[in-house]
Amino acid sequence: MENTKTLSFSLPKLKYEYSALEPYIDARTMEIHYTKHHAAYINNLNAAIEGGTYTEQSIEEILAHISQHIPAVRNNGGGYYNHNLYWEIMAPYSASEPKGKVLDALNAAFGSVSAFKEAFSKAALTRFGSGWAWLVKKGSSLLISSTPNQDNPLMDVAEVQGTPLLGIDVWEHAYYLKYQNRRAEYIEAFWHVINWDEVEKRYLR
């Protein structure tokens, strides 16, 4: 018998103040991004799945079979997951460089951290329109990819599939108040607020 209990997702608690990532990510952008954009994805996701024949699935399980779902679940489910990750992999007073096993993995995959940063920044800068750039773990390999809109590497429709370790939001709402059309400056600022401890934790899972 199918379980028709309605799933419900909620806005996660932000672990730092809106101003904590200044001067790299401004407080006003953080507040609008979190309370308006992220919240809207969650509300729309809950509306899209309401009344459907959904089992008690995690968001990761839903995304893994996203081709079977309606576009509203794809778009808003992706927006929910992507932003959850985005807030987690940034932090105030972050170390500017990776360390430990994730450092070793980056060196093995890309030759150096600087080469990784160059490739990741290029993926973010050249993503046409709205989307994301990702550092992805696929088996024992690390790859860089980008996705349109709110897609991500967990989805069965993604060109590069795997586990997202690091993601940068290059929708204009993520940076336009401070950087306007200067996406490259926003990408450069992003390197100053990465929570490499969280990235490594995701790598070791």
What residues of the chain score a pLDDT lower than 70?
1-6, 53, 55, 95
CA 65 to CA 63: how far, in whole Å? 5
**Is residue 134 within 8 Å of residue 167, measured between CB atoms?**
yes
CA 76 centroid distance within chain: 13
pTM: 0.95
Dist CA 187 CA 182 (whole Å): 9
pLDDT at position 95: 65
Q: What was the pLDDT predicted at 2?
A: 41
* Residue 9, helix vs strand vs coil: coil
Residue 27 CA to residue 127 CA, distance in Å, equals 25
Strand partners, 138: 141
pLDDT at 4: 46
